[in-house]
Amino acid sequence: MTVTAYTLAVVLDLFIVFIGARFLLRPRLAAAGYGVPAKPAGDAAYLAVKGVRDLTFGVVGLALLIFAGARAEAWFLLAVAIAPFGDTVIVLRHGGTRAVAFGVHFATAVVVLIGAALLFAV
């Protein structure tokens, strides 16, 4: 179970680093994948904010896992699960599809919570 817990934590952290980088490098494409396409003009700053937020979450998660251990990472994952739950609501409230809201964001939140539970069990 230890290998599974650590592997899932690393994959989740690297995945959110990738998403953050994507929002910084290809913001319109990333926004479409998020479930709420960006308007042609005026959303650049908000897309960059999301990119920095996600990139930071991933780097902090990796740092906690490496330098503080499984329990710190478990608490971190438990706390940051708020973000994908919030993303679910944002997609639903701003015209995104239920498939993306639940199939991407809500499912991500559940996987993050599973990762936290596995790390607490290690």
Residues 105-111: contacts with CB under 8 Å, at least 24 apart: 105/35, 108/84, 109/81, 109/84, 109/85, 111/8, 111/12
User: 57 is written with which tokens?
Assistant: 């979450």
- pLDDT per position as a tens digit, 49-96: 999 999 999 999 999 999 999 999 999 999 999 999 999 999 999 999
Q: What is the pLDDT of residue 47?
A: 93
pLDDT tens, residue by residue, 8-45: 999 999 999 999 999 999 999 999 999 998 888 877 89
Amino acid at 50: K
Domain residue limits at 97: 2-121
> What is the pLDDT at residue 42?
72
pLDDT at position 77: 98
| Number of separate domains in the chain | 1
